[in-house]
Amino acid sequence: MALKRAVRGMNRLARVAIWVAGLVLTALTAIGLAEGEARAQSSADRGEELFRVCAACHQIGSGARNAVGPILNNIVGRRIGSRSGFRYSPAMASAGADGKVWTIELLDAFLADARAAMRGNRMAFAGLRDPSQRADLIAYLATLNFDDPSESKILK
């Protein structure tokens, strides 16, 4: 009898320990997800600050116009050289005609060294050497979904 009680007690203790461990793991996961979302947000926020350099040549927003560079609305996932009304270099036009799109990886390479990433393009940009800055800028570019006519933000 004493042995049965001891085993039952250990099983109960084991069950409680597993339950507590599961609760702690769930809490830590929730905290980690919240921190991940905060990091993603702050990354896009940092990218918005970095975009101010890009704004010398590019516009965003529902009222944006092509300038020295094309409008960057919806750039992530968009076919290269596809923004209507902009005169692209033959290199960009050819890449778009071949079906290439602006992936995160291609944007990263392009922002690091535009001339090396796509020979023959006309973008006069020295590049961002810092990979974390490129990641922040791309995170911001990924938020530029301004096809909604109610969106009126324009950054020049």
Give residue-wise pLDDT tens across range 32-78: 554 455 445 569 999 999 999 999 999 998 889 999 999 999 999 99
Mean pLDDT of the region 74-95? 96
For the structural domain made of 43-141, what CATH number should be given?
1.10.760.10
Per-domain boundaries in the chain: 43-141
Q: What percent of the chain has pLDDT over 70?
A: 67
Contact 128, 134 (CB under 8 A): yes
Can you give the pLDDT at residue 62?
84
pLDDT tens figures, 127-148: 999 999 999 999 999 999 876 4
pTM of the model: 0.68
